[in-house]
Amino acid sequence: MIIRDGTLAARISRSRLAGALMSPRGGVGVEELRGAVEGRTVLITGASYGLGAATARMLADAGATVLMTARTAAALAEVAGGRGHCYPADLSDPAAVGELAARVLAEHGPPDVVVSNAGKSIRRTLAASRFHDFQRTMAVNYLGPVRLLLDLLPAMRARGSGHLVNVSTIGVQVPPGPRWAAYQASKSAFDVFFRSAALEAAADGITASSVYMGLIRTRMSAPTASLANAPGQSADEAAGVLARAIARRPAKISPWWADLAELGAAVSRRPWEAAVRWRPRR
């Protein structure tokens, strides 16, 4: 039993080390985070589960006024626990997003921080895909958050302050992989929009952080069996990364190796494509 326990402990330790190396780092103290968000309004999309829920709890504990949005009202209420404001809305519905922005501005004014966290993941071969898969993924990962920021930014710019956080993915930095066409394309689209919008908003005092997350162990990643043993972070660990983005406002947070992969892809895509070329099983 001692040997087995020791082996298990070693495996857990190696897994955590691998996750720390493969994922972006957090690293702000409680007081630093409190100083950045106490008394300020933070809007978080996709706040009912996973990273969004963990971030909402963390910011509420630090004294922020947390505005939470997701599709499921009951799940939002459970996360809020009376400490947050719930705004059920489906980001894939443009009218619902417009109503969400109008309510937030009317009831709280322009947010101090907007965390674009909601996302839809899909891993599917082209042979098994339908056009609807791409429409839905693009609506949640790109068009919905674009509409929300277009509606909120004028008031934030008029006030002359604010911070935007995009919870992106290392899938934007690494070359495209088989079965991830819908997901990588939609996240890349919002990444480019966000970085372009940040350049314009900066003139009016708005800062922006693009956070390129590695694997986060949530219900979104759970259906992909191949990710079960991959190094990653818990939702609480990933929330610590967002705490760093919110408190220190860097333009970019990403794992060290993803930057190298991005550089390598810019130089030549042939080695990657040869390595990951996918062939269906016969």
Which amino acids are annotated catalytic?
183
**Which residue type is seen at 212?**
Y
> Which residues are within 8 A (CB) of 98 and not within 5 positions of it... i.e. 6 or more apart?
147, 151
Q: Which of 232, 112, 226 lies closest to 169 in space, CA to CA?
A: 232
CB 173 within 8 A of CB 22: no
Q: 34 in helix, strand or coil?
A: helix
Place of tokens 């892809």: 265
> Which residues are within 8 A (CB) of 132 and not within 5 positions of it... i.e. 6 or more apart?
none
Strand ranges in the chain using DSSP code E only, listed in sequence order: 41-45, 65-70, 84-88, 113-116, 162-169, 206-213, 252-253
CB 115 within 8 A of CB 55: yes
Place of tokens 């829920």: 53
